[in-house]
């Protein structure tokens, strides 16, 4: 990383081949190679050298390999650098007015600016303190009540920590914000794929920052398509590839047309910019670069009691009748959200029948007329000045009627049925409440993921829920096979003083586990998307340091990107996800640098249920060659997978 920050000197720059060109040796070895431009076809014997290089790059180590620690080591080795006479960010622009850099109006020079998701702010501060000698680095956290408007105060600190939300909000309210008036030595974007969409406020605010060195930290630089990389190159000021016209013409279009030259060019661009290691990477003499205690994954097959089984079978038969009706009508994909709802109920029943019984509450929509009136009044009040961003009265009435009739909808964030923790936004969109709050940069509000309208947390209407369970779960407690097995295992680990993390995607399941843990004297903590940032930090700190609270219940949707949970060595995955990568990410939060004990992972599956068939669907998906199927084949495969689940 230190070498990349120094950049390529003028002499070396003239010896580096421009990635748009390729060298070809001819038969006569005495003759110089011929250089051919891959896109224009131009040929020459003159060496086409690089014209400009980047100071910094992309650190794309796999999750758990210490990107944060590597960056801290870099900062300690050179906290402020020796500034050049001209900050390149002052005059450089990114090919169009939308991404043009601001002209510096200040000579104030700062150290390192670290921009990260809100959930990692406290962890960055703790890691900086843990890995540096006392007084070696001065750190300032620019967030919430600790914000400052003083350039000199920021400049006095070696490291300034802030979030993407604070950065974009500052840029929105003040075109030349405190961040943009500073000439930073180094800027670090943690979880840099946050700015993968170039038109977002976060991306635009990041592009306009001025610095000598720039770093993107992300274990997934490419998430969906090549355009994800384009945004990172814009931030790094990699010319000419940060010019939208060049990118579209030479990379995006060829790639979309099946021309492999686009992909080859991307590899050539990234080769000098990207550092990536995985757990399998070996050093020069063949030894693994990282030796961790093993992680052993075991599938725990739970067998339902007779009464549990009877309840599940009745629910399955009713669900299958509905699914078969959709198949007979040829409307499976048109009723995808309804089918997800059927599957969700079956999966919740595998965790505990109480989760399904709770949904049978006849009072579930008792307040729906009041809700409709509240919603319609809100639309009428705001429609006078904001016609373009509020839903029509007819649309809102339609949504309320759908809710009244029990219609379900797929959450646009997690792509599951939005019915475990549903909320309604002022723009009349439904989704999981935890997913929505976790997607925001600040806990108080953020954009709607569908229409981008800004909404505050206080505007959300929770559906339905006065009581989460129709039965009195506490006084009429019955164990499910999963809960019984989990409690037995936790009691054994408690005697050994070993810490455990219990993962589930259903926060209502945590409500039930709280009842049973309390009855059994198992002390626990809970981490989900409903907690404020300070409360999240408090929970993680307490779990790490506590000697008696040995169990942490954590939601898979809680936005725990990059969290370090090495205090635990036991993982319980209570319910399978459609996407196995989500489960893998959860495990990697524990099995990473700093883990000194063997990690034991228990994946709970109820025998003879939809959970077993979900595993089969996952394996079939993984065997499919990515991109080898047509749209029609993908539709057919999706229907076949659904049929497998309802066998």
Among 399, 407, 441, CA closest to 424: 399
Q: What is the pLDDT of residue 89?
A: 40
Superfamily the domain 54-275 falls into: Tandem AAA-ATPase domain (3.40.50.10810)
Q: d(Cα 609, Cα 347) in Å, to the nearest integer?
A: 8
SS3 string, 406-447, reads CCCCECCCCCCECCCCEEECCCCCEEEHHHHHHHCCECCEEE
Q: d(Cα 345, Cα 356) in Å, to the nearest integer?
A: 6
Name the pLDDT band for 254 (thresholds 50, 70, 90): confident
More confident residue, 492 or 558: 492
Q: Which helix (H) or strand (E) holds 611?
A: helix 610-623
Name the pLDDT band for 573 (thresholds 50, 70, 90): very high
DSSP 3-state assignment of 121? helix
Q: Are 61 and 276 in contact (CB under 8 A)?
A: yes
Residue 517 buriedness (CB in 10 A; 0-12 / 13-18 / 19+)? buried
368-462 and 481-623: identical CATH topology: no
DSSP symbols for 75-96 = HHH-SS----SS-GGGT---SS
Looking at the DSSP bridge assignments, the partners of residue 455 are 446
Q: What is the pLDDT of residue 16?
A: 67
Phi then psi for residue 80, to 5 deg, are -130, -15
Q: What is the pLDDT of residue 206?
A: 92
Whole-number CA gyration radius for the chain: 27
Q: What is the pLDDT of residue 297?
A: 93
Q: Which CATH class is domain 368-462?
A: alpha beta
Question: What is this structure's pTM?
Answer: 0.61
**Separation of CA 101 from chain center:** 28
Among 166, 174, 171, CA closest to 145: 166
Question: Quick one: DSSP state of residue 97?
Answer: G
Structure tokens at 571: 């993982």
More confident residue, 325 or 173: 325
Q: Which residue has the tokens 């279009």?
A: 253
- Average pLDDT in the chain: 77
Name the pLDDT band for 380 (thresholds 50, 70, 90): very low
Name the pLDDT band for 111 (thresholds 50, 70, 90): very high
Q: Can you tell me the mean pLDDT for 71-97?
A: 60
List, for residues 61-75, the tens digit of each pLDDT value.
887 788 899 999 999
List, for residues 202-234, the tens digit of each pLDDT value.
889 999 999 999 999 988 777 657 777 888 999
Q: Which residue has the tokens 């003040």?
A: 174
pLDDT > 50? residue 590: yes
Q: Where are the domains of the chain?
A: 3-44, 54-275, 368-462, 481-623
Name the pLDDT band for 403 (thresholds 50, 70, 90): low
Give alpha helix (H) positions in 496-532. Answer: 507-520
Name the pLDDT band for 358 (thresholds 50, 70, 90): low
Superfamily the domain 481-623 falls into: P-loop containing nucleotide triphosphate hydrolases (3.40.50.300)
Q: d(Cα 292, Cα 569) in Å, to the nearest integer?
A: 12
More confident residue, 426 or 466: 426
Q: d(Cα 463, Cα 365) in Å, to the nearest integer?
A: 8
Residue 484 buriedness (CB in 10 A; 0-12 / 13-18 / 19+)? middle
Residue 195 buriedness (CB in 10 A; 0-12 / 13-18 / 19+)? buried
Name the pLDDT band for 549 (thresholds 50, 70, 90): very high
Q: d(Cα 540, Cα 554) in Å, to the nearest integer?
A: 10
**Alpha-carbon distances, residue 146 vs 119, 138, 298, 465 (angstroms):** 16, 15, 45, 36
Q: d(Cα 36, Cα 27) in Å, to the nearest integer?
A: 16
């Amino acid at each position: 990383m230190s070498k990349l920050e120094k950049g390529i000197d003028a002499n070396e720059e003239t010896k580096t081949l421009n990635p748009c060109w390729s060298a070809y040796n001819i038969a006569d070895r005495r003759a110089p190679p011929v250089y051919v431009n891959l896109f224009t076809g131009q040929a020459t014997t003159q060496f086409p050298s690089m014209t400009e290089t980047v100071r910094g790059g992309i650190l794309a180590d796999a999750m758990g390999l210490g990107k944060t620690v590597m960056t801290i080591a870099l900062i300690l080795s050179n906290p402020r650098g020796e500034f050049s006479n001209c900050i390149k960010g002052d005059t450089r622009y990114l090919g169009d007015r939308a991404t043009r850099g601001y002209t510096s109006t200040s000579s104030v020079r700062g150290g390192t600016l670290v921009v990260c998701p809100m959930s990692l702010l406290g962890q960055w501060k703790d890691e900086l303190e843990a890995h540096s000698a006392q007084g070696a680095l001065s750190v300032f956290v620019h967030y919430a009540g600790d914000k400052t408007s003083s350039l000199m105060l920021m400049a006095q600190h070696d490291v300034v920590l802030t979030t993407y939300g604070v950065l974009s909000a500052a840029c929105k309210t003040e075109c030349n914000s405190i961040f943009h008036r500073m000439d930073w030595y180094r800027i670090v974007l943690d979880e840099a794929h946050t700015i993968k969409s170039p038109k977002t406020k976060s991306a635009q605010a990041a592009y306009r920052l001025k610095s000598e060195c720039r770093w993107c930290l992300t274990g997934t630089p490419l998430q969906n398509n090549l355009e994800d990389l384009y945004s990172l190159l814009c931030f790094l000021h990699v010319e000419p590839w940060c010019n939208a016209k060049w990118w579209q013409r030479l990379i995006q279009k060829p790639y979309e047309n099946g021309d492999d030259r686009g992909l080859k060019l991307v590899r050539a661009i990234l080769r000098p910019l990207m550092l990536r290691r995985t757990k399998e990477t070996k050093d020069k003499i063949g030894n693994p670069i990282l030796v961790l205690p093993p992680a052993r994954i075991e599938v725990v097959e739970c067998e339902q009691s007779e009464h549990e089984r009877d309840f599940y079978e009745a629910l399955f038969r009713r669900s299958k009748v509905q699914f078969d009706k959709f198949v007979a009508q040829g409307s499976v994909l048109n009723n995808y959200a309804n089918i997800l709802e059927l599957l969700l109920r079956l999966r919740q029943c595998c965790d505990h029948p109480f989760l399904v019984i709770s949904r049978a509450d006849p009072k579930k929509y008792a307040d729906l007329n009041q809700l409709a009136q509240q919603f319609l009044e809100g639309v009428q009040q705001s429609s006078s000045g904001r016609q373009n961003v509020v839903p029509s009265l007819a649309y809102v009435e339609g949504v309320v009627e759908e809710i009244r009739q029990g219609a379900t909808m797929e959450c646009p964030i997690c792509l599951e049925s939005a019915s475990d923790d549903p909320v309604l936004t002022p723009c009349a969109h439904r989704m999981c409440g935890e997913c929505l709050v976790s997607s925001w940069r600040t806990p108080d509000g953020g954009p709607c993921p569908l229409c981008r309208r800004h909404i505050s947390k206080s505007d959300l209407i929770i559906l339905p829920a006065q009581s989460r369970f129709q039965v009195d779960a506490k006084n009429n407690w019955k164990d499910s096979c999963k809960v019984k097995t989990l409690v037995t295992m936790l009691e054994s680990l408690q005697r050994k003083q070993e810490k455990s993390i219990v993962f589930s995607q259903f926060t209502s399941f945590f409500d039930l586990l709280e009842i049973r843990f309390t009855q059994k004297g198992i002390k626990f903590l809970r981490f989900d998307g409903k907690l404020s940032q300070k409360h999240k930090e408090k929970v993680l700190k307490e779990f790490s340091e506590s000697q008696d609270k040995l169990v942490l219940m954590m939601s898979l949707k809680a936005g725990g990107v990059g969290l370090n949970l090495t205090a635990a060595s036991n993982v319980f995955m209570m319910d399978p996800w459609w996407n196995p990568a989500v489960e893998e990410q959860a495990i990697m939060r524990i099995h990473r640098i700093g883990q000194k004990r063997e990690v034991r992972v228990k994946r709970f599956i109820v025998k003879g249920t939809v959970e077993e068939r979900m595993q089969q669907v996952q394996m079939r998906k993984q065997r499919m060659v990515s991109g080898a199927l047509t749209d029609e084949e993908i539709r057919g495969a999706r229907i076949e997978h659904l049929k497998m689940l309802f066998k």
